[in-house]
Chain A
Amino acid sequence: MGSTNSTLLKIPNVEVLMQETGLKLVAEENCLNVSPAHIIRLHDRFKALDKEGRGHLCPHDFGAIKELAMNPIGDRIIGAFFSPGKETVDFHTFVKILAHFRPVDKDRPKEPNSPEPINSRSNKLKFAFQLYDQDKDGKISRDELLQVLRAMLGMQVTDEQLESIADRTIQEADLDRDDTISFEEFRKSLEKINIDHKMSIRFLR
């Protein structure tokens, strides 16, 4: 317990962070079992990524992750960590972003007044939405969709095919026929998908 606490103490604002993100100490839950908490784990990872020890991460720190560089939409995901105009991300934001991917816990008592948790369905969707919506105008335009499609489908299809796919995709979701997908349309079109399942990572539970 001692080591856990001492590590925790080094992390600034840890209580606030835990409350906001819902990430808990495993040690707290099963009182007998002293196991490292998610936050400490993430803090270690944060420090490992932050090779120069500045206390914050830059895009190139993420770029150094080899697997991420191979990810077709990796740069977009990295971009999601940085709020517009900022070049750095501190640990607080880092954890908050990752907290999107916590599975939804059903047994947690619902407080009517509490703000919507970060890992709620619509927040998860918002995260996905902003990966498309690079110009942050709240709409996925055909071009934005095409870029993502091109990244994900790669060389396997021709440009014409890509365009028809994009057209059809927009046509499916576009309810108000403005040729773009707004967040509302995005949410509606994915209504049938179990987002809790598809946008959650087990070990962040």
Chain B
Amino acid sequence: MASSICLCLLRAVFLVCFVNPLIQGLSGDVNLVQDPRHRLEKNLTGLSIVTFDWHHVQTPYLVITWVFVAGLAKLSVIELNHHVISVVPESGLLIILGFILGGIVWGADKAQTFKLLPPTFFYYLLPQIILDASYFMPNKLFFSNLGSILIYAIFGTCWNAATVGLSLWGCYEAGVMGNLDIGLLQFLLFGSLIAAVDPVAVIAVFEEVHVNEVLFILVFGESLLNDGVTVVLYNVFDAFVALGGPRIDAEEIFKGIFSFVVVAFGGSFLGVVFAVLLSLLTRCTKHIQIIEAGFVFVVGYLAYLTADMLSLSAILSVTFCGICCQKYVNANMDEKSVTTVRHAMKVLANGSETMIFVFLGITAIDTEIWVWNTGFILLTLLFVFIYRIIGVFLLTWMLNKFRLVPIEVIDQVVMSYGGLRGAVAYGLAAMLDKDKIPEKNLIISTTLIVVYFTVILQGITMKPLVQWLKVKRAAHADLKLIEKLNNRAFDHILSAVEDICGRIGDNWWTRGWNRFEENYISWLLMKPKARKNRDYLFSIFHKLNLEDAVNYVSEGERQGSLAFIRSDEVANVDFKKQFGSEFTDVMPDIMVDMSNYELGIENFSVTSIVKDTIPSVSLDIHGKDRKNVADDINAHHLLQQHLYRSRKNHRHKFSRSHFSINQSEDEVQEIFQRTMRSRLESFKSAKMGVNPAKKITKHHKKDLTHKMANGHPDGTDHLYGDEVDSAVGSETGAIRGTFMRDTYTVRAGIENPVFLPAMDSPTHSSLPWLMETDAVAPSQRAQWRLLWTPNRLRRLAPMRVSTCSTDSFLMADLEEHEEKPQTDHEEEIRPVFD
């Protein structure tokens, strides 16, 4: 909260000190801006080193300042108390912030210098939002609901426009609104511009609510596609108003209807054409990968502008451009470019969305546009709200006769309540011609009020409503291969059943299209390389594996270098196979275990095995030490290591759920090396009979807590681990001798690792390196391992750990700091022996 207040203050200061002079610079164009010029001309006698030339940079400077301010506004809104955020949607907050900003500007200027002008909105703010929405459209969902979406978009919008316009006109004739200079056509014009659900507002509000995907696509698709309808209706009625009532005949009306078809379908077709162009273009951008991402934006914008130039529906054009090109563009472009496009698109869309809402707020603070007419405004609100509900229920009732999965009543309520109006309506209202429509200001203020009402009030109440009605939410499911596989199977099953029934149904068409698309369109629009290996299922698999690899690397980097992947060549898909063939002769039992691990753990792919090789890093350090000390030291040292390790391996199994406990690499290294040093020292001193300096160990407590945290006895895991251990144990035990097995069983019987330190101390008190060999017997594992040559040992290191736990990867670090207490034990014990 404190930070948000800080931000607000900062912004206010920023505005007062920085923006206001600029604003004055703009408003007082003649006075202020000319001043420096005059001064310059006066001082022309000498060369001026620094000049202040505001006029030069004024326009871009103001634009970028406002972008900056909008960005800050978004930041402060996000940083605001999360309570507020969870209640009021971001879009509403931005509008309210816009009010404040507008108030500041107005206070400084006594007039609203900045407004959301229609050209700015339509040419610079809207296109990227629509492009973003369509480029990331879930195509399958969209097309499988296309029929319903079209019905809502076309008939719903027409219904809204007609009923709102006519009802308002009726009320006006009845004398509710007093004296207004407005006729039936103007009312219809107003109805048409207020009819459309706004894509920007809908995305902003519904993204936060997370309703189920079908409901979302219905509302969202409708809001995208109905823009074409609105623009046509608007243009037609605008033309009618210009023509004047008496001159409208059947021919004009017919032309209006025809123009709708042309505008809507022409726009969509143009979009498809540009999508094809874009896909073809990305086919051959192999050598200019740096800029290929830019093509998506440029061509999308071109589609928008071209459609606008031809007076076709620009929004539909860019919508279909995005929807149609996404698949091919993503396949053709380099993976980096795809990521670039994705991020840049989001930056642009999010930025201009913020700008739009902020400016919608700022625009309101202007005395010029406000004309109040209670009857008109309240009735508009009422009619907009009611007819939306009626329209949705009527159309859904008809649609449900045909839909496979009917739209439920609750969903219908949310749909009708989600009829948010937004900046498109305002933009259209602001474009009206004041000469032809005398009541333009009333229309603008009413539109603004409708926008505020729907975005802020309905936006705020949307979430509680959705919760209260228990609307099916979007399931945040992880991507699962089995689901995708079965979806594929279901598609095949359905089309087969349709074949058996001998009916041409939806699935028949889907399959036909898919086949056509695969055979011809992909061939035309996709790189040959991209066509190969582009099976959907495999790409899902690939994606999952990539995710795992990324996780693995990010986890693994904390532990040390991952270079072993390269050197061992084990990181590929055939890891198990290679490993298997290499080591089966050595350790048949382990191979069996490995296969279990690979398949047994959810979301652990083959990489999980590679993870186990981490300890090899630490073994290298052992190697260094070994060079420096004599052989017998080496033997003891190793022995001790494995004495610990075997116990630690037990401990591993308990921390499966604790992924979060990860110390930094440095710390781990530090602890490890200190352990080693202290061990060596204590060993040396023991040999020479010198008392070692006692060290204060500050990690002691922490480690204990770690242990406690990890100490949840997890029955299955533990059991499982024991199985593995005893498998290895029995194998080795048979070779090394029976006494080892006896001691081993003691160890394996320890159920709760919390008790392990206590169990350890007796072992330590006998100080292994001072005793005879049989006293050290407890670690049978260490014993048999000693028989391996160091080289062999190192090579096997990853294998050995992998036998014990799939999670040893994440426990590799635990292993290190768990050694700490043992050092403590040693040091505490030392004096006793001396």
State the A residues within 8 Å of B (CB): 41-42, 45, 48-49, 62, 65, 67-68, 71-74, 77, 98, 101, 103, 106, 127-128, 131, 148-149, 152-153, 156-157, 160-161, 164-165, 167-174, 177, 179, 181, 189-190, 192-194, 196-205
Contact = CB atoms under 8 A, between A and B. Distances in A.
A71 B574 contact: no
B486 A128 contact: yes
B176 interface: no
B405 A103 contact: yes
Interface string B597-619: 01111111110000000000000
B627 interface: no
A167 B598 contact: yes
Contacts of B537: 149, 152-153, 165
B37 to A, nearest CB: 68
Contacts of A172: 480-482, 602-603
A169 B496 contact: no
**DSSP majority for the A interface?**
helix
B532 A171 contact: no
A98 B500 CA distance: 9
A177 B596 contact: yes
User: How big is the B interface, by class?
Assistant: 35 or more
B582 interface: no
8 contacts: A73-B496, A74-B492, A164-B573, A177-B596, A192-B483, A198-B487, A203-B501, A204-B501
Interface of B: 402-406, 475, 477, 480-483, 485-490, 492-503, 505-508, 532-535, 537-538, 541, 544, 573-574, 596, 598-606
Contacts of A201: 404, 494, 497-498, 501, 505, 507
A102 B60 CA distance: 62
A62 B497 CA distance: 11
A203 B405 contact: no
Which of B475, B532, B600 has the most C-beta atoms of chain A within 10 angstroms of its own C-beta? B600
Contacts of A157: 533, 535, 538
B548 to A, nearest CB: 10
B45 to A, nearest CB: 79
Nearest to B576: A167
Contacts of A173: 482
Contacts of B503: 203
A48 B502 contact: yes
Given A168-B544, A171-B598, A172-B602, A152 B492 contact: yes
A174 B599 contact: yes
Contact of A156 (B402, B486, B506, B534): B534
A192 B259 CA distance: 45
A142 to B, nearest CB: 9
Contacts of B494: 101, 198-199, 201
Contact of A177 (B488, B493, B599): B599
A74 B487 CA distance: 16
A160 B573 contact: yes
Contact of A103 (B404, B506, B533): B404
Contacts of A148: 489
A190 B483 CA distance: 6
Which 9 A-B pairs have CB atoms at the shortest separation, nearest pair first? Answer: A156-B535, A177-B600, A77-B496, A202-B404, A67-B499, A198-B490, A45-B502, A68-B499, A192-B477
Contacts of B404: 103, 197, 200-202, 205
A101 B492 CA distance: 13
B489 A73 contact: yes
A49 B503 CA distance: 13
A157 B482 CA distance: 17
Nearest to A171: B599
